[in-house]
A and B are shown apart, each in its own frame.
Chain A
């Protein structure tokens, strides 16, 4: 017992802070779960629990690219989209084949994550050669491309197997018994609603576990070294391309997981600007920026506040967006005004580095 106390005392600050992060999630879950089961929470708020989990996973995973790798990505919702559609497609096809909901969901989850990761690799390889604003613009474009792609996909299934088209349902040429699975802009309907608050929280914990442990490992150090000084990282033999791609892909895969959660929370899955487009990508970025770039617990908390705040302010419906906008403008000023940058460099030391000849 005393040994154990000593161990906890000697644990470094990092480990403690990480345990606190997990602790916050678990306690918050237990509190909310109690409130829900005693019926002391509006059904509206209760319905917000799974989306909240989704936002938290998205924010934490985007922080891996923006905060830990130090690159601005505006296509995060695209990876969520890839995970959502691939997993919903799987679940709908398997609805009657795999009756065990848990097993089906786990398989769907793995598929969604894998597909999003593949998209991460395919997009990451060309895109990660770019830096800063250029990277931001190109990732934004790829995010939009993914979202728009699923809007032109029609997939049906009949006795002869799968039919595929990019035109319309008629073009699928199915037998009469055929069933449309992906219906272009109308998306996928009838996905089993397997997502629960509990599953969401488990996924948050897994996401945190992966990101936190990655950051505190050999690979994580390499990623952060690239962020802090690419030239110095190269000079000690760090493979820049490899580690950038690693961070980007893991981040995409985790966003895919959030997409799976999203797809299995709704009966109808469609892709539009608000759920998988740049609106969403920028929302997630706002969580990351507000929570403090690189601060994992911070992005979690920002996601919670910014998701719940509009609901809390529902009474002030006219001012809701105004308040939101003011918060964002203040953040912008804090991050970009020259005076504020000066102040931060002096007191907080996370200013941007200038580019110059290698000296």
Chain B
């Protein structure tokens, strides 16, 4: 079976710094894949390369058979990659519901005129959007807070809202950048369950960056370890975590 995401030899430099170099990864459909490594290893930069925030200066990115190397963020979103951010990036002055509805933007259409004049199309499509957004909020236990301003949510819920918004774009591949950062063990536990639930319910393929080893070893099937922009180890979670190289470079013993 062809992989959903196939990345070969990806690289980028910032000035003199080779932030990512010769990065390969291959992710199967519905896999839950972890990307780990020390601070500054280039993990977030990989996400930025995959989503078109930065243009790679080397390598290829194939998503579901389609070459998306160097494409614009908006086209990559349409091709089917959605993400969350390490530093939460919500639409802070929009409601929780509207944050998800922005995620639904490209899946539901009516014209500007229909919107301004509140014609039938507006009412019908807005209703669908509301229903679908509420559905997603329920999955993440946010339905009760639909009317809150996103910025008024507590930290853990903001992280979950970001995932809901990303899922609203109906992606093929979901990228999560440190989804458990700043969460207490309790919240992290809930998050792990939600991630697994999302994978099963939406048949989602997920690549996640995480420092929390409990989460990583608990839910990821495969891992790639990044160190100084290069792949240090790759493979099944258990074998990677027992790799002596990984232990010295990252896990620190």
Contact with B along A318-359 (1 / 0, CB 8 A): 000000000000000000000000000000011000001011
Q: How far is the CA of A271 from the CA of B86 in the complex (A)?
A: 52
B74 touches A239 (CB 8 A): yes
Is residue A232 within 8 Å, beta carbon to beta carbon, of the partner chain? yes
B102 touches A233 (CB 8 A): yes
Interface residues of B in 78-94 (CB under 8 A from A): 78, 82-83, 85-87, 89-94
Chain A residues near B122 (CB, 8 Å)? Answer: 217
A213 touches B74 (CB 8 A): no
Chain A residues near B118 (CB, 8 Å)? Answer: 213
Q: Taking each of B82, B85, B93, which has the highest tally of chain A beta carbons within 10 Å of its own beta carbon? A: B93
Chain B residues near A217 (CB, 8 Å)? Answer: 110, 112, 115-116, 122, 126
Chain B residues near A236 (CB, 8 Å)? Answer: 77, 82, 102-103, 105-106, 165-166, 168-169
A232-B85, A236-B165, A238-B74 known; A218+B91 contact, CB < 8 A: no
Chain B residues near A359 (CB, 8 Å)? Answer: 44, 85-87, 177
CB distance from A239 to the nearest CB of B (A): 6
A235 touches B77 (CB 8 A): yes
A234-B74, A236-B168, A358-B48 known; A213+B106 contact, CB < 8 A: no
Interface residues of A in 213-266 (CB under 8 A from B): 213-214, 217-222, 224-225, 227-229, 231-240, 246
Is residue B73 within 8 Å, beta carbon to beta carbon, of the partner chain? yes
Is residue A210 within 8 Å, beta carbon to beta carbon, of the partner chain? yes
The residue in chain A whose Cβ has the minimal distance to the Cβ of B110 is A218
A221-B98, A228-B92, A228-B94 known; A235+B115 contact, CB < 8 A: no
Chain A residues near B101 (CB, 8 Å)? Answer: 218, 221
A232 touches B90 (CB 8 A): yes
The residue in chain A whose Cβ has the minimal distance to the Cβ of B99 is A225
Interface residues of B in 128-171 (CB under 8 A from A): 129, 149, 151, 165-166, 168-169
Chain A residues near B112 (CB, 8 Å)? Answer: 214, 217, 219, 246
CB distance from A120 to the nearest CB of B (A): 15
A217-B122, A218-B125, A238-B74 known; A233+B85 contact, CB < 8 A: no
The residue in chain B whose Cβ has the minimal distance to the Cβ of A242 is B74
A213-B116, A359-B85 known; A234+B73 contact, CB < 8 A: yes
Q: Which of B87, B89, B93, B106 contacts A237 (CB 8 A)?
A: B106
Chain B residues near A350 (CB, 8 Å)? Answer: 93
Q: How far is the CA of A229 from the CA of B149 in the complex (A)?
A: 14
Chain B residues near A227 (CB, 8 Å)? Answer: 93
Chain B residues near A231 (CB, 8 Å)? Answer: 53, 85, 89
The residue in chain B whose Cβ has the minimal distance to the Cβ of A229 is B89
The residue in chain A whose Cβ has the minimal distance to the Cβ of B91 is A228
B51 touches A235 (CB 8 A): yes
A213 touches B151 (CB 8 A): no
Q: Taking each of B110, B115, B125, B169, which has the highest tally of chain A beta carbons within 10 Å of its own beta carbon? A: B115
Is residue B1 within 8 Å, beta carbon to beta carbon, of the partner chain? no
B94 touches A235 (CB 8 A): no
Is residue B201 within 8 Å, beta carbon to beta carbon, of the partner chain? no
Chain A residues near B116 (CB, 8 Å)? Answer: 209-210, 213-214, 217
The residue in chain B whose Cβ has the minimal distance to the Cβ of A231 is B89
Q: Which of B77, B91, B110, B129 contacts A224 (CB 8 A)?
A: B91
Interface residues of B in 151-209 (CB under 8 A from A): 151, 165-166, 168-169, 177
A224-B94, A349-B151, A359-B87 known; A238+B102 contact, CB < 8 A: yes
By a beta-carbon cutoff of 8 Å, the part of chain B in contact with chain A is 44, 48, 51, 53-54, 73-74, 77-78, 82-83, 85-87, 89-94, 98, 101-103, 105-106, 108-110, 112, 115-118, 122, 125-126, 129, 149, 151, 165-166, 168-169, 177
* Further 12 A-B residue pairs, CB within 8 A, beyond A235-B83, A236-B77, A237-B74: A217-B112, A218-B105, A221-B98, A225-B102, A229-B91, A234-B73, A235-B89, A237-B105, A246-B112, A356-B87, A359-B86, A359-B177
13 residue pairs from A and B, CB less than 8 Å apart: A217-B110, A217-B116, A218-B110, A225-B102, A228-B90, A229-B89, A234-B74, A235-B166, A236-B102, A236-B165, A237-B74, A237-B78, A358-B85
By a beta-carbon cutoff of 8 Å, the part of chain A in contact with chain B is 209-210, 213-214, 217-222, 224-225, 227-229, 231-240, 246, 294, 349-350, 356, 358-359
